[in-house]
Amino acid sequence: MNPLPQIFQDWFAGRGWAPRAHQLNVLLHVGRGDSVLLISPTGGGKTLAGFLPSLVELSETHARNGIHTLYVSPLKALAIDIARNLETPVREMSLPISIETRTGDTPHSKRKRQREKPPDILITTPEQISLLIADPGAAHMLCHLKSIILDELHSLVTSKRGVLLSLALARVQSFAPTARRIGLSATVADPEALQSWLAPAGERPVPLVLGNAGAQPNIRILKSVDRVPWSGHSARYSIPEVYEAIGNAKMTLVFVNTRSQAEMVFQALWEANEDHLPIALHHGSLDVGQRRKVENAMAAGKLRAVVCTSTLDLGIDWGEVDLVIHLGAPKGSSRLLQRIGRSNHRLDAPSEALLVPSNRFEVLECEAALQAAKENAQDTEYPAVLKLDVLAQHVLGRACAGPFDADVLFAEVTTAWTYRNLTRADFDTVMDYVATGGYALRSYEKYAKLKRRPDGLWRLTHPLIAQQYRLNMGTIVEAEMLKVRMASVKRRLGKRVVIGGRSLGELEEWFLSQLSIGDTFLFAGEVLRFEGLDEFGALASKAFGQDPMIPSYQGGKFPLSTYLAARVREILGSPQRWCALPAQVREWLAAQARKSVVPKAHQMLVETFPRAEKHYLVCYPFEGRLALQTLGMLLTRRLERWGAKPLGFTASEYALVIWTVSDLSLMISADKLSLAHLFDEDMLGDDLEAWLASSNLMKRTFRNAAIIAGLIERRWPGKEKTGRQVTVNSDLIYDVLRSHQPDHILLRAAWDDAADGLIDVHRLGAMLKRIKGQIVHRALEAVSPLAVPVLLEIARESIYGKAYDALLAEAAGHLTSEAMGLV
């Protein structure tokens, strides 16, 4: 039975289309009153599948009283495009349906009108849903809601944005209990997690509809004629071949992992660009206007290639892309499949992709990713759950909408799958935090933001708090960014005058604050000369004929996924599979087998050897840079305690190297050092605690949690300009809080984030468990072939730990030498 009304069938037929099976399947589920998760690759008519049930319903009923359908996408920039695409069928079938968008850019007058006369379909972002429900008039707009469409759900659920959205949806459903949820997602590792995410806690996961898988992608690894470098991430060696591939394709997307890499590759391609191909650059810190220009040029087919970062991972197609090149290893199988999916949006034709490893280990990683992609194996992250800082933000938003009962709110919050395990005690702690800061020293009762009135309901104490909430809400905490503007430098009366011009984009403040006037760096596709800071941000001019200093600003650096890491270990541990690898990599591994040993997949190799009057320990856990950095911190503490006198360490995605004064091989053979002991899981106890106490890492996650929970405000009404001076530095707050109330809820939230993210303790813990009893040790005369790449990284690494004082002492020392005429 075709659930589609005749007018829709005619419309499909008129375009020469037939409705796809998954589109009809979604309709059937919705007809039964179900929510549903649709998983389908890009290009499968996924968005239309989400909207079809709403279009059908709206074509049949004519009651106009509130929003019928909410469409939520993580990408603000997409709202207009989605609305435009949806207008087409509505217009062509003459359906009486109004469609509007609402994003951060929507003017106040339009919001007001939407409140008075809501559209049938509202296209918006997660943050806007939270703002909507914080409005006292939310019930009026939402009580007739029938459908909530959640696009790119796979990407939303892994972040705090998704966690906040899940709370907002619990609230939305208290107004419209029968509204269905339609989740639209790319392929994920664990669909059931998403099915559960969509359903109210305690209920059965929503049913799953699968779209057609589409044709197998055609993935190749660049077989370079030149030698693949031992280490580094620039992939500069491959530029001529990459350029040639671009020349042979109609339109190429060149994905890289970091913004600085994007700048470097773009620069290199232009140097090679003898045919003057139109090649553009697209990454997150470029000016929005510039990014839109590139997207429009792509859509119009005016470009041959775009060098981009994860900014182009999501979204609708901007053009006829027929080739995806991935420079550097993709770090995860799902990420690779997503990016490949950006090419060739017709499902029947295979996508074309070229992987370019930037060093030898990445050859293994690309090989692992290619095999995983062939099997369509996914390694997406599990949804984020139970973030206390996000809950605090939601509670304040709830108070902005009007008086509330804490019991009712607790019941509502725990209907969200993400908060199903929230305890009442934690909820009350969060309530207390929002009201008065949650301090044991109860001195803020008179300055409370929320107060419980005699009627038992909680109320805001001042309307200004709601205004502040609206300015500061959201979970995306950026590093402090400064605008970069083009500057012209003039001399007036012998004085240097810098005049700011057009905006180029934004850069991290910490990066800009390292620059001195005259330093050159790569940004926005140009070599720029730093000209100083003014009250609006940084100023820079074009640096003609100068080389840039190495760009060191980061952005979008992903660690190697656990899944790919396991596959890399498997390839390494099975010599019969090396035949797929390039000759030079095979030779490298064969040399390793001769001079040391190539570990089996379940083993971890530890090598010790002397070199240039120092002694080295190299281990190869393949667990990503973050986890290995934490391991390095903890191992050096332990080696220090056991008298090995460690001097420093460096971690790569694959290996960790520690260098010491003492002869480690000797210590091990004399039983003075036990590797099993050294790598024991107990390092995650006191050693971890002691390190974190003295580390700056926790301060970073604390700042994020403090901002999301509203302790530190990003913006103040009417005070945006003075911005950073309004609040106390979060590091100072952290220090004081840690010594006076170490169990404070924000310290818990910060720890939770760090354990998952920056210090990756969970992954480290799993790895230590895995290698128990599986450590293979080789005491060598000299560095092994496998160790060379990580040893080469040492030079480019920074110093850790007590580095600040060491550097200050060094700076002061140099100076003394200068003054004494020793230099």
Partner 1 sequence: MPFSPKPPVTLPPRPWGLSREHRIRLGGLELVPDLSGALFAPDLKSLLVADLHLEKASNMAKRGVHLPPYDTRATLALLEAVIAHALPERLIFLGDSFHDDDARERMDGADLAKLRKVTEHTETIWITGNHDPRPPSDIGGRIASEVALGDITLRHEPSQLADGKFEIAGHLHPGATVSQRGKRIRCKCLIGNGQRLVMPAFGSFTGALSISSEPFRKIFAANDFHVWMLGDRAIYRFPAKRVS
Write down the least CB distance from residue 393 to partner 1, Å.
14
Between the CA of residue 730 and those of 47, 75, 443, what are the distances in Å?
42, 29, 21
By CB under 8 A, residue 13 contacts partner 1: no
Write down the least CB distance from residue 420 to partner 1, Å.
19
By CB under 8 A, residue 2 contacts partner 1: no
Amino acid identity of residue 571, one-letter, is: I
By CB under 8 A, residue 674 contacts partner 1: no
By CB under 8 A, residue 538 contacts partner 1: no
By CB under 8 A, residue 804 contacts partner 1: yes
Distance CA 228, CA 243 (A): 17
Q: Are strands 537-542 and 481-492 parallel, antiparallel or unpaired?
A: parallel
Write down the least CB distance from residue 712 to partner 1, Å.
8
**Are 279 and 303 a contacting pair, CB within 8 Å?**
yes
By CB under 8 A, residue 50 contacts partner 1: no
The residues with which 534 forms a beta bridge, in sequence order, are 537
Residue with smaller CB distance to partner 1, 502 or 796: 796
Q: Is 798 exposed, middle or buried (0-12, 13-18, 19+ CB in 10 A)?
A: exposed
Joined together, the tokens standing for residue 670 give 């004399």
Residue with smaller CB distance to partner 1, 594 or 772: 772
Write down the least CB distance from residue 43 to partner 1, Å.
41
Residue choice 146, 326, 449, 699 for contact with partner 1 (CB under 8 A)? 449
By CB under 8 A, residue 546 contacts partner 1: no
Write down the least CB distance from residue 754 to partner 1, Å.
9
Distance CA 823, CA 229 (A): 37
Residue with smaller CB distance to partner 1, 612 or 812: 812
By CB under 8 A, residue 436 contacts partner 1: yes
By CB under 8 A, residue 762 contacts partner 1: yes
Residue choice 514, 574, 696, 817 for contact with partner 1 (CB under 8 A)? 514
Residue choice 21, 80, 499, 809 for contact with partner 1 (CB under 8 A)? 809
Residue with smaller CB distance to partner 1, 115 or 748: 748
- Tell me the three state secondary structure of residue 16: coil
By CB under 8 A, residue 468 contacts partner 1: yes
By CB under 8 A, residue 747 contacts partner 1: yes
Residue choice 13, 300, 476, 803 for contact with partner 1 (CB under 8 A)? 803
Distance CA 191, CA 2 (A): 27
Which residues have C-beta within 8 Å of that of residue 433, sequence separation ≥ 6?
A: 392, 709, 745, 746
Residue choice 156, 761, 783, 787 for contact with partner 1 (CB under 8 A)? 761
By CB under 8 A, residue 648 contacts partner 1: no
Residue with smaller CB distance to partner 1, 202 or 463: 463
Q: Binding to partner 1 (CB under 8 A): which residues in 704-733?
A: 711, 713, 727-729, 732-733
Residue with smaller CB distance to partner 1, 6 or 725: 725
Residue choice 18, 21, 593, 815 for contact with partner 1 (CB under 8 A)? 815
Residue with smaller CB distance to partner 1, 470 or 748: 748
Amino acid identity of residue 352, one-letter, is: E
Write down the least CB distance from residue 451 to partner 1, Å.
12
By CB under 8 A, residue 676 contacts partner 1: no
Amino acid identity of residue 114, one-letter, is: Q
Residue choice 76, 115, 236, 748 for contact with partner 1 (CB under 8 A)? 748
Write down the least CB distance from residue 253 to partner 1, Å.
33
**By C-alpha distance, which of 319, 337, 343, 357 is closest to 242?**
357
Which phi and psi (to 5°) does residue 209 adopt? -115, 130
Residue with smaller CB distance to partner 1, 443 or 584: 443
Residue choice 169, 540, 598, 737 for contact with partner 1 (CB under 8 A)? 737
Distance CA 691, CA 178 (A): 50
3-class SS shares of the chain: helix, strand, coil, % to 5: 45, 15, 40
Residue choice 83, 465, 779, 792 for contact with partner 1 (CB under 8 A)? 465
By CB under 8 A, residue 807 contacts partner 1: yes
Q: Dihedral sign, CA of 263, 266, 272, 275?
A: negative
Residues in contact with partner 1, counted by CB under 8 A, come to a total of 55
CA dihedral 390, 396, 400, 402 (to 10 degrees): 110
Q: Dihedral sign, CA of 8, 80, 183, 373?
A: positive
Residue choice 274, 455, 689, 821 for contact with partner 1 (CB under 8 A)? 689
Distance CA 679, CA 430 (A): 38
Q: Binding to partner 1 (CB under 8 A): which residues in 356-375?
A: none
By CB under 8 A, residue 766 contacts partner 1: no
Residue choice 63, 583, 795, 811 for contact with partner 1 (CB under 8 A)? 811
Joined together, the tokens standing for residue 121 give 């379909």
By CB under 8 A, residue 740 contacts partner 1: yes
Residue with smaller CB distance to partner 1, 424 or 740: 740
By CB under 8 A, residue 17 contacts partner 1: no
Beta-strand ranges (E) seen in 535-611 are 537-542, 604-611
By CB under 8 A, residue 765 contacts partner 1: yes
Write down the least CB distance from residue 743 to partner 1, Å.
4
**By C-alpha distance, which of 83, 74, 86, 104 is closest to 183?**
74
Q: From the centroid of its chain, how far is CA 54?
A: 32
How many other C-beta atoms can be found within 10 angstroms of the C-beta atom of residue 276? 8
Between the CA of residue 694 and those of 358, 697, 749, 800, what are the distances in Å?
35, 9, 18, 11
Q: Binding to partner 1 (CB under 8 A): which residues in 474-513?
A: 513
By CB under 8 A, residue 462 contacts partner 1: yes
Residue with smaller CB distance to partner 1, 465 or 591: 465
Which residues have C-beta within 8 Å of that of residue 822, sequence separation ≥ 6?
A: none
Distance CA 646, CA 638 (A): 9
Stretch that binds partner 1, among 109-117, 317-325, 442-450, 626-634 (CB under 8 A): 442-450
Between the CA of residue 289 and those of 57, 292, 584, 662, what are the distances in Å?
38, 5, 45, 57
How many other C-beta atoms can be found within 10 angstroms of the C-beta atom of residue 807? 11
The pattern of x and - marking residues 385 through 424 that bind partner 1 according to CB under 8 A reads ----------------------------------------
Stretch that binds partner 1, among 65-73, 334-342, 682-690, 773-781 (CB under 8 A): 682-690
Residue with smaller CB distance to partner 1, 593 or 803: 803
Which phi and psi (to 5°) does residue 292 adopt? -60, -40
Stretch that binds partner 1, among 187-195, 423-431, 614-622, 801-809 (CB under 8 A): 801-809
Between the CA of residue 131 and those of 67, 137, 414, what are the distances in Å?
15, 11, 20
Write down the least CB distance from residue 725 to partner 1, Å.
8
Between the CA of residue 760 and those of 596, 615, 752, what are the distances in Å?
30, 28, 10
Amino acid identity of residue 31, one-letter, is: G
Residue with smaller CB distance to partner 1, 313 or 713: 713
Q: Dihedral sign, CA of 319, 91, 75, 156?
A: negative
By CB under 8 A, residue 692 contacts partner 1: no
Distance CA 551, CA 732 (A): 30
Write down the least CB distance from residue 731 to partner 1, Å.
10
Write down the least CB distance from residue 461 to partner 1, Å.
8
- Binding residues (CB under 8 A) for partner 1: these are 436-437, 439, 441, 443-444, 447, 449, 462, 464-465, 468, 513-514, 516, 684, 688-689, 711, 713, 727-729, 732-733, 735-737, 739-744, 747-748, 751-752, 755, 761-762, 765, 798-799, 802-805, 807-812, 815
